[in-house]
């Protein structure tokens, strides 16, 4: 019976040692996995931040270029408005309509510029996938607005040239450069 007790104690001791060794290996594996997961999360966060920063920078650059072009276009439109005002009573109605369109255009540009800060803040709050999607949607809307503005300006210049008796063949050339 004593030998049996010793064998049982030895078996239990060996089993306990195996369980402890297994527990240590499991703990080491879990710790290693947690470490790898933390490193992956850090890399993912860095990549997301880098993407967000790059998108914000690109967006800011494009916004600056668009704002410059809008200012140039507004100056050209204002110059054309001045020419219309000097044309006499027959052109007065056209000039008034044009001035209203310019004011509406300026108001929409001011609203557009005022939302840029909100958009940039939203970009910083979103993940890279949402940021890309938002940028794509916003750029599509911007292209549409600028396309409409350019068509309006071309039509206006065609009408102005027609009023002055100039040929309409090269009417878009002044705006396409």
Residue 81 pLDDT greater than 50, yes or no: yes
Residue 32 pLDDT greater than 90, yes or no: yes
Is residue 168 within 8 Å of residue 161, measured between CB atoms? yes
Q: Give the range among 2-6, 139-143, 165-169 with minimum mean pLDDT.
A: 165-169
How many C-beta neighbours within 10 Å does residue 100 have?
Answer: 10
Q: What is the mean pLDDT of residues 112-133?
A: 72
What percent of the chain is predicted at pLDDT more than 70? Answer: 76
pLDDT at 78: 86
Q: What is the mean pLDDT of residues 87-109?
A: 66
Sequence spans of domains, the chain: 48-176
For residue 153, how far is the Cα from the chain centroid? Answer: 27
Is residue 95 within 8 Å of residue 81, measured between CB atoms? yes
Task: Report residue 130 as tokens.
Answer: 């949402």
Q: What single DSSP character describes residue 156? A: H
Is residue 105 within 8 Å of residue 113, measured between CB atoms? no
Is residue 149 within 8 Å of residue 84, measured between CB atoms? no
pLDDT at 173: 45
pTM of the model: 0.34
**Cα end-to-end span (Å), the chain:** 106
Q: Give the gyration radius of the chain's Cα atoms.
A: 35
């Amino acid at each position: 019976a004593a030998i049996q007790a010793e064998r049982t104690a030895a078996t239990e001791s060996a089993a306990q040692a195996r369980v402890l060794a297994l527990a240590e290996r499991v703990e080491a594996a879990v710790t290693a996995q947690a470490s790898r997961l933390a490193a992956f999360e850090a890399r993912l966060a860095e990549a997301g931040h880098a993407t967000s920063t790059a998108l914000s920078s690109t967006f800011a650059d494009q916004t600056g270029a668009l704002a410059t072009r809008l200012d140039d276009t507004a100056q050209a439109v204002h110059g054309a408005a001045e020419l219309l005002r000097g044309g006499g009573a027959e052109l007065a109605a056209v000039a008034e309509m044009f001035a209203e369109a310019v004011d509406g255009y300026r108001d929409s540009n001011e609203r557009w510029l005022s939302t840029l800060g909100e958009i940039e803040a939203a970009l910083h709050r979103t993940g890279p996938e949402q940021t890309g999607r938002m940028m794509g949607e916003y750029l599509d809307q911007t292209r549409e607005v600028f396309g409409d503005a350019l068509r309006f300006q071309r039509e206006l210049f065609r009408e102005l040239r027609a009023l002055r008796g100039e040929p309409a063949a090269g009417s878009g050339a002044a705006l396409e450069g």
